Amino acid sequence: EKGGYEYFMLKEIAEQPSAVADTLLGKLVDGRIVLDEQRLSDQELRDIDKVFIVACGSAYHSGLVAKYAIEHWTRIPCEVEIASEFRYRDPVLDRSTLVVAISQSGETADTLEAVRHAKSQKARVLAVCNTNGAQIPREADAVLYTHAGPEIGVASTKAYLAQIAANYLVGLALAQARGTKFPDEVSAEFHALEQMPELIGQVVERLDQVRQIARELADSKSVLFLGRHVGYPTALEGALKLKELAYMHAEGFPAGELKHGPIALIEEGLPVFVVMPPLHGRSLLHSKLISNIQEIKARGARTIIISAEGDEVVKPFADYLIEIPETTTLLQPLLSTIPYQAFAAEVAAARGYDVDKPRNLAKSVTVE
Ligand code: M6R
Any atom of ligand 1 within 6 Å of the Cβ of 157: no
Confidence label for 42 from pLDDT (cuts 50, 70 and 90)? confident
**DSSP assignment letter at 278:** P
In the set 50, 119, 357, 363, the catalytic residue is 363
Could you write out the three-class secondary structure of 21-35? Answer: HHHHCCCEECCEECC
- Integer Cα distance of 26 and 37 in angstroms: 13
CA of 16 to the centre of ligand 1 (A): 17
CA of 57 to the centre of ligand 1 (A): 5
Query: Is 363 assigned a catalytic role?
Result: yes
- Integer Cα distance of 47 and 112 in angstroms: 24
pLDDT at residue number 117: 96
pLDDT at residue number 40: 86
Any atom of ligand 1 within 6 Å of the Cβ of 104: yes
Name all contacts of 87-92 with Cβ < 8 Å and 24+ positions apart. Answer: 87/113, 87/114, 87/117, 91/52, 91/121
- ipTM of this predicted complex? 0.98
Q: Is the pLDDT of residue 363 over 90?
A: no
pLDDT at residue number 270: 97
pLDDT at residue number 177: 93
pLDDT at residue number 302: 98
Q: What is the pLDDT of residues 223-255, one digit of tens each?
A: 999 999 999 999 999 999 999 999 999 999 999
High-pLDDT (> 90) share of the chain, %? 89
Q: What is the pLDDT of residues 106-120, one digit of tens each?
A: 999 999 999 999 999
Any atom of ligand 1 within 6 Å of the Cβ of 154: yes
Cα dihedral 317/255/204/170 (nearest 10)? -150
Average pLDDT estimate for 23-45: 91
Q: Which of 143-152, 277-286, 297-306 has the lowest mean pLDDT?
A: 277-286
Confidence label for 38 from pLDDT (cuts 50, 70 and 90)? confident
| The pairing of beta strand 50-55 with beta strand 78-82 | parallel
Average pLDDT estimate for 317-338: 97
- Integer Cα distance of 12 and 91 in angstroms: 36
Nearest Cα residue to atom 4 of ligand 1: 103
Return the half-sphere exposure (C-beta side, CA atoms, 13 A cut-off) of residue 172: 26
Q: Is the pLDDT of residue 18 over 80?
A: yes
Confidence label for 359 from pLDDT (cuts 50, 70 and 90)? confident
Confidence label for 347 from pLDDT (cuts 50, 70 and 90)? very high
pLDDT at residue number 356: 87
pLDDT at residue number 364: 84
Structural contact between residues 261 and 251, judged by C-beta atoms closer than 8 angstroms: no
Structural contact between residues 160 and 169, judged by C-beta atoms closer than 8 angstroms: no
Q: Is the pLDDT of residue 282 over 80?
A: no
pTM as predicted = 0.97
pLDDT at residue number 82: 98
Confidence label for 360 from pLDDT (cuts 50, 70 and 90)? confident
Q: Is the pLDDT of residue 281 over 80?
A: no
Residue 60 contacts by C-beta under 8 Å, 6 or more apart in sequence? 80, 82, 83, 102
Any atom of ligand 1 within 6 Å of the Cβ of 56: yes
| 25-51: b (≥16 Cβ within 10 Å) or e | eebbeeeebebbebebeeebbebbebb
Residue 144 contacts by C-beta under 8 Å, 6 or more apart in sequence? 35, 36, 126, 127, 128, 129, 166, 169, 170
CA of 324 to the centre of ligand 1 (A): 26
High-pLDDT (> 70) share of the chain, %? 99
Q: What is the pLDDT of residues 134-158, one digit of tens each?
A: 999 999 999 999 999 999 988 999 9
pLDDT at residue number 283: 78
Q: Is the pLDDT of residue 39 over 90?
A: no
